[in-house]
A and B are shown apart, each in its own frame.
Chain A
């Protein structure tokens, strides 16, 4: 049971960091529905670099670099060109899914490196995830940078009038967001399950996207949601731990996805949104043309 809980927290770490990265972008008003694609890029490039060089550090750095680059590209399409953010995000997802299937294929199989040492049985990235949540909360709510990010996400025209460079702030957010998504992907492929296979994420990125909606854009609620879904995910992989011989293992795999739909529906009800829905960044997904 202890092992199951540890493994669940490891899974939650990936959800936490991936969802937090999306939250950061969304707070600045940029929606990226291609989280899964960026994660696939980070995971695959990180895996390839780590295996080739034998260095975890280089693997993670490469994953963050490619994630940042994709974030920057998303920014260029969404901020500078002002294109539809959903189309851009879809493009990034399909690009990631298609290209990593091709470039990663020769690396199919286990990573073959010594495992990253754990801390008290937990993956060290669990603590990194916790730290990132606290940092994100602090930056977003207590610093002037956070105020700038939130204001360009809420009302870019007002932000611009008050002297904030909307484009620069959004670029900063989406690029950092991309780096963290790449990092989350690499945690999956280098630490959580260090084996490369085709389209191995199977929905992690999309659940992370949904988690942002669940969190009402608040880092602490997001952490709670991530732990819940990490546990759920782990349970769907090992149902015998709780309910042995009930339902096929394949049916268990559907559970996290079904619950995601359920929660998403609950959150879209009038009852819910009239109470807590106001947290959604007002300018989310809308392109902004500078007046000045």
Chain B
């Protein structure tokens, strides 16, 4: 394409530098937010007013900020659950199923200690809370392992398997918390039973302690992929499973390992949202919405290109956007599902922008009269 004395060309990238990837990601997010303005316009709201309402509620209001932080922790954990298999070139879209399994396992421990009997029951928190977390990790790792095992052993498509497990666990949760299920709450309104106050997860400065687990994982994963041999093996498998096999990397162990790790972290997300967020402390009847929210992990993972540190600001932004979006939807009468709509718009924009990870636009001055003139005048 020619523009004046310039020619615009597409050129294949040889390598993608860190700052280039960052720039593309920022452009993609901005582009998605501009496209998303249409939703505001459609509702007769000035997009700037709309975004201002979202951001000020999410990041500056004393009601909104804690909710944003809770969502941020949840999204960051879901992102890591997605990133680890992603580095091995595998798709874990089963965060929802894994976090349901984690929540169910954690609540099973609480149930075993008699947590369902009374809200005032005094349980040994020092024992029950660590056991709940351990159960969440084990339960979700086991669920994750299914997809990893099947991939490693039979090369079964992990997308279909993890998605099927999402639906299976979705219905298992329903079985457990509804219609006389073991974890059914006393109110009978479809929620699970509420945890006794004695085993509420500890808060640090009003923030669930799971924040520090999530941030710790950020460092751990960064180290894993940057410095360790196992991280190298995962990446090598991700580049080419066949080539990795020649280098002595097991085509069975790697898928199994990444799905166990991914599942385990998703289980922490399940523990976090249902057992550690103030005001929740039960498997809520709208648990499916948290499963849906987990899909933001895919977007965070893709935008951050699998970098666990880069995922932090992105998860924070999306935590704020979804939380503020829910608020703005009520305040500005935008209609239900604005956070879902944003999810869709962000994802498809990202898909379109992945083109720029492989190509770049270059401006070339076309040789001609003008060009030689420029040469003379320096």
Residues of chain A whose beta carbon lies under 8 Å from any beta carbon of chain B: 33, 77, 81-84, 86-88, 90-92, 94-99, 101-103, 105-106, 198-199, 202-203, 206, 209-210, 213, 248, 250-251, 253-254, 257-258, 260-261, 264-265, 268-269
A244 to chain B, nearest CB (A): 16
CB–CB B39/A265 < 8 A: no
Known: A99-B345, A209-B160, A264-B157. 17 other contacts (CB 8 A): A33-B159, A86-B159, A90-B351, A94-B344, A98-B337, A98-B340, A102-B340, A199-B292, A203-B163, A203-B164, A250-B172, A250-B174, A258-B164, A261-B164, A261-B165, A265-B154, A268-B150
Report yes or no: B160 in contact with A97, Cβ–Cβ below 8 A: no
CB of B168 closer than 8 Å to a CB of A: yes
Residue of B nearest to A253 (CB): B171
Q: Which A residues are CB-close (under 8 A) to B93?
A: 90
Pick from A97, A102, A258: contact of B338, CB under 8 Å: A102
Looking across the interface, which residue of chain A has its beta carbon closest to that of B347? A94
**Known pairs A102-B39, A199-B292, A257-B167; A94 contacts B343 (CB<8 A):** yes
Task: Check B178 for interface membership: any CB of A closer than 8 A.
Answer: yes
CA distance A254 to B302 in the complex (A): 30
Residue ID in chain A nearest B42 by CB atoms:
A103
| 8 A Cβ contacts from B335-378 to A | 335-338, 340-345, 347-348, 350-352, 354-355, 358
In the complex, whether B175 has a CB less than 8 A from a CB of chain A is yes
Residue pair A106, B178 in contact (C-beta under 8 Å): no
What CA separation (Å) do A91 and B181 show in the bound complex?
36
User: How far apart are A249's CB and chain B's nearest CB, in angstroms?
Assistant: 8
Chain B 122-162 interface mask (CB, 8 Å, partner A; 1/0): 00000000000000000000000000001000111101110
Residue from A95, A199, A257, A261 in contact with B348 in the complex, judged by beta carbons closer than 8 Å: A95
CB < 8 Å: which of A77, A81, A99, A102 contacts B335?
Answer: A102
What is the count of residue pairs linking A and B with beta-carbon distances less than 8 angstroms?
A: 136
Report the bound CA distance from A198 to B165 in whole Å: 20
Contacts of A88 in B (CB 8 A): 351
Q: Residue of A at shortest CB range from B149?
A: A265
A105 to B329 Cα, complex, angstroms: 13
Q: Is B91 engaged at the interface, CB distance under 8 Å to the other chain? A: yes
User: Can you show 16 pairs from A to B with CB atoms below 8 A apart?
Assistant: A77-B351, A77-B355, A81-B355, A91-B347, A92-B351, A97-B295, A101-B341, A198-B337, A210-B164, A250-B171, A250-B175, A251-B171, A254-B172, A261-B165, A265-B154, A268-B155
- The reply on B314 being an interface residue by CB < 8 A is no
Question: What residues of A have a CB within 8 angstroms of the CB of B354 in the complex?
Answer: 83-84, 87
Interfacial chain B residues near A206, Cβ < 8 Å: 160, 163-164
Partner pick for B344 among A96, A198, A203, A268, CB 8 A cutoff: A96
- Contact call B175/A248, Cβ cutoff below 8 A: yes
- Chain A residues within an 8 Å CB radius of B156: 261, 264-265, 268
* Bound Cα distance from A254 to B174, whole angstroms: 11
Does B179 lie at the interface of the complex (its beta carbon under 8 Å from any beta carbon of A)?
Answer: yes
Q: Are B167 and A254 in contact (CB under 8 A)?
A: yes
Q: How far is the CA of A105 from the CA of B336 in the complex (A)?
A: 7
Do B351 and A265 have beta carbons less than 8 Å apart?
Answer: no
- Tell me which residues from 25 to 43 in chain B have a Cβ below 8 Å from any Cβ of chain A: 39
- Whether B157 and A98, one on each chain, are in contact in the complex, defined by CB atoms closer than 8 angstroms, is no
Task: Decide: A95 and B345 in contact? CB cutoff 8 A.
Answer: yes
Please list the 4 inter-chain residue pairs (A to B) with the smallest Cβ-Cβ separation, ordered nearest first.
A98-B344, A91-B351, A102-B341, A102-B337
Contact A248 B179 (CB under 8 A): yes
B183 to chain A, nearest CB (A): 13
> Inside 8 A of B159's CB, which chain A residues have their CB?
33, 86
Q: For chain B, residues 213 to 243, give those with C-beta under 8 angstroms from any C-beta of chain A.
A: none
Taken together as a complex, chains A and B put the C-alpha atoms of A77 and B302 apart, in Å, by 16
Cα A221 to Cα B156 with chains together (Å): 20
- Return the contact of B160 from the options A87, A251, A253, A264 (Cβ within 8 A): A264
Q: Does B99 contact A (CB under 8 A)?
A: no
Decide if B84 is an interface residue (CB 8 Å cutoff): no
Question: For the complex, what is the distance from the CA of A258 to the CA of B172, rounded to whole Å?
Answer: 12
Nearest-Cβ distance from residue B91 to partner chain A, whole angstroms: 7
Find chain A residues with CB under 8 A from B160 CB: 206, 209-210, 213, 260-261, 264
Q: How far is the CB of B328 from chain A (nearest CB, A)?
A: 13
Task: State how many angstroms separate the Cβ of B123 from the closest Cβ of chain A.
Answer: 28
Q: Which residues of chain B are near A84, meaning CB under 8 Å? A: 354
Bound Cα distance A130, B91 (Å): 34
- Are A92 and B155 interface neighbours, CB within 8 A? no
With a CB–CB cut-off of 8 A, which chain A residues contact B265?
none
**Given known A-B contacts A202-B167, A206-B160, A265-B154, A98 and B355 have beta carbons under 8 A apart:** no
B355: contacting residue among A83, A90, A92, A257, CB under 8 A:
A83
Chain A residues positioned under 8 Å from B150 (CB to CB): 261, 265, 268
Known contacts: A77-B351, A203-B163, A248-B179. The answer to whether A101 contacts B337 by CB under 8 A is: yes
Minimal Cβ-Cβ distance residue in B for A70: B348
Smallest distance from the beta carbon of A76 to chain B beta carbons, Å? 9
Residues of B within 8 A of A83 (CB): 351, 354-355, 358
Please report the C-alpha to C-alpha distance between residue A248 and residue B299 in the assembled complex, in whole angstroms: 35
